[in-house]
Amino acid sequence: MIRFFFSVTLLTMSTLSYSYGNGINQMALQLQAMYNINKVKAEQGDPRAQYEMGGIHESGSQPLSIAPNLNQAFYWYSKAAQNGFIKAQVKLGNFYQYGFGTAQNLDYATMWFSKAAKAGNWMGNKGLAEIYEERGNFKKAYKNWKVAAESGDQESKLRLDNLCNKKPMVCKN
């Protein structure tokens, strides 16, 4: 619950700050304390804390005076992914796919998306489908779009339909 509060607080602090006046100062102090605790946990190897640190650095935090820093986000997501945190594996796949905070590397992106997909995360399948379709491996793209679409992701359903319209032989089985 504290972690949820921490994440929600980071996202809403700047929008609330003008409304609450001096009360926000106390909240900012509490937020800073929570950030410090989270950072210690991340440095000690807690994968959820590492993932949260990645998110803080990816988006930045005005109340904490942290500017967005994709290199730092990549660092923390890497730590969390290596520690088996599935959401971080997807994030790391995205960072490698688009070259955020690191050089673009579709082979590494594929590796991290595959780990997430094997763990049952449909977003890993979605990332794989994008890469396979871009590389012209339409059978693998179809398989992964289908898994992501079956999870209820509307974009994946549209992409699956588009693939089947362009390459109908791939979708017949």
Positive or negative: CA dihedral 43, 47, 49, 55: positive
Give yes or no for residue 5 having a pLDDT over 50.
Answer: no
Whether 113 and 122 have beta carbons less than 8 Å apart is answered as: no
The Cα 10–Cα 32 span in angstroms is 10
pLDDT, position 26: 82
pLDDT in tens, 128-152: 999 999 999 999 999 999 999 999 9
> Average per-residue pLDDT in the chain?
90
